[in-house]
């Protein structure tokens, strides 16, 4: 995108108006503190990561620091005698993400995943399951928390059906809006959201720890579609401490030759406009995630990333942690 383009100028103007003091600092990454329960960000990109296949000119091929993994979170519970680790999304980058988890939060067990929570059956969100199957880690009964249609899809279609048949995963059926207990004082609650549903329902997860609550909503078609279903983003933000929200695109025009009018996802610029009148404390909860490889805000030095920070929002960073 042209950094002087209208959406960017509007966002920059909005940022200046909202922030009062415009800061150009990159998104803050919370220092890794020792928490009883930690949320750990394992990936911030859209399903296909950055760089994406068939984009030979992406500078991330030559510069590893520009690469980003598909969106995923981990939750680590250190309250018991043995560390427990949970994964939100099984992405195509699960190999690298589990390695990062092992480096930062190691366990003595093989694989060491005590649960996997999935949002839906688009490639960036579940195909990593294949790596816990027979041809790879051959995990044993990993509890896998999914909605009913997603469960039926996994049971009925290879290679996923083999994971069920070989007991690599143990499907745990979920209900919309019903909290799933993970451990004492730790729950995850799926909530349906409007988004393409070719193979499964689509949910976000609300994660409630003893201290803090977090929304994880990597994919949604639009805030207006959600409004039409009687759910306002502002209300969902009200009683959580942080919200990882779909930020696939920054603004229209980002895909060059491709007409984006038929491609949903709230644009970051529009989400910022929608939340511009919310208190600063509310805006500070938002951590944009699931950025497409074309999203200029992936570059912390871009005008777009600076506009996000100046407006009081955050960009999720791989490696950031939060105490739950």
Query: What are 114's two structure tokens?
Result: 């005590």
Question: Is residue 201 within the footprint of Zn ion (CB under 5 A)?
Answer: no
Can you give the length of the chain in residues? 324
CB 131 within 8 A of CB 224: no
Q: Which one, 47 or 318, has the nearer CB to Zn ion? A: 47
Question: Is residue 190 within the footprint of Zn ion (CB under 5 A)?
Answer: no
* Interface stretch with Zn ion, choices 14-22, 57-65, 124-132, 139-147 (CB under 5 A): 124-132
Question: Is residue 47 within the footprint of Zn ion (CB under 5 A)?
Answer: yes
Residue 237 beta carbon to Zn ion: minimum distance, rounded to whole angstroms: 21
Residue 266 beta carbon to Zn ion: minimum distance, rounded to whole angstroms: 13
Binding mask 68-107 for Zn ion (x = CB under 5 A): ----------------------------------------
* Interface stretch with Zn ion, choices 2-10, 171-179, 218-226, 302-310 (CB under 5 A): 218-226
- Number of other CB atoms surrounding residue 29 within 10 Å: 15
Question: Is residue 114 within the footprint of Zn ion (CB under 5 A)?
Answer: no
Partners of 322 in the beta sheet?
39
Question: Is residue 51 within the footprint of Zn ion (CB under 5 A)?
Answer: no
* Interface stretch with Zn ion, choices 39-47, 135-143, 166-174, 183-191 (CB under 5 A): 39-47
Interface residue with Zn ion, options 49, 51, 92, 124 (CB under 5 A): 124
CB 113 within 8 A of CB 76: no
Provide CB contacts within 8 A for 283, sequence distance 6+. Answer: 18, 275, 311, 312, 313
* Interface of this chain with Zn ion, residues 256 to 315, rule: CB under 5 A: none
CA distance 141 to 171: 9
CA distance 14 to 308: 10
Question: Is residue 219 within the footprint of Zn ion (CB under 5 A)?
Answer: yes
CA distance 257 to 265: 18
> What 3-state DSSP class applies to 235?
helix
What values do phi and psi take at 68, rounded to 5?
Answer: -135, 145
Size of the site for Zn ion (CB under 5 A): 4
* Interface of this chain with Zn ion, residues 144 to 183, rule: CB under 5 A: none
- Number of other CB atoms surrounding residue 300 within 10 Å: 16
Residue ranges in contact with Zn ion by CB under 5 A: 47, 122, 124, 219
């Amino acid at each position: 995108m042209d950094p002087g383009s209208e959406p960017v100028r509007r966002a920059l103007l909005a940022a200046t108006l909202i922030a009062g003091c415009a800061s150009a600092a990159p998104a803050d990454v919370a220092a890794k503190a020792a928490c009883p329960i930690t949320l750990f960000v394992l990936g911030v990109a859209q399903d296909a990561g950055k760089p994406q296949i068939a984009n030979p000119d992406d500078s991330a091929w030559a510069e590893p620091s520009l690469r980003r993994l598909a969106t995923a979170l981990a939750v680590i519970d250190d309250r018991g005698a043995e560390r427990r680790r949970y994964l939100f999304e099984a992405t195509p980058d699960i190999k690298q993400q589990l390695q990062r988890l092992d480096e930062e939060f190691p366990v003595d067990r093989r694989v060491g995943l005590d649960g996997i929570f999935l949002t839906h059956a688009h490639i960036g969100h579940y195909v990593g399951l294949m790596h816990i199957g027979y041809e790879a880690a051959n995990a044993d009964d990993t509890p896998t928390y999914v909605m009913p249609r997603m469960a039926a899809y996994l049971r009925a279609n290879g290679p996923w059906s083999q994971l069920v048949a070989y007991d690599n995963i143990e499907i745990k059926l979920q209900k919309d809006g019903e909290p799933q207990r993970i451990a004492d004082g730790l729950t995850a609650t799926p909530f349906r959201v409007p988004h393409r549903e070719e193979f499964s329902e689509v949910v976000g997860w609300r994660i409630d720890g003893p201290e803090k609550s977090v929304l994880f909503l990597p994919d949604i078609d639009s805030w207006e579609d959600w409004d039409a279903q009687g759910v306002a983003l502002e209300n969902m933000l009200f009683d959580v401490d942080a919200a990882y929200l779909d930020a696939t695109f920054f603004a229209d025009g980002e895909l060059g030759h491709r007409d984006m009018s038929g491609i949903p996802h709230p644009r970051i610029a529009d989400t910022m406009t929608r939340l511009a009148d919310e208190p600063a404390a509310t805006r500070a909860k938002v951590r944009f995630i699931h950025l497409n490889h074309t999203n200029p805000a992936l570059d912390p030095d871009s005008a777009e990333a600076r506009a996000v920070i100046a407006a009081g929002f955050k960009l999720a960073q791989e490696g950031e942690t939060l105490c739950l």
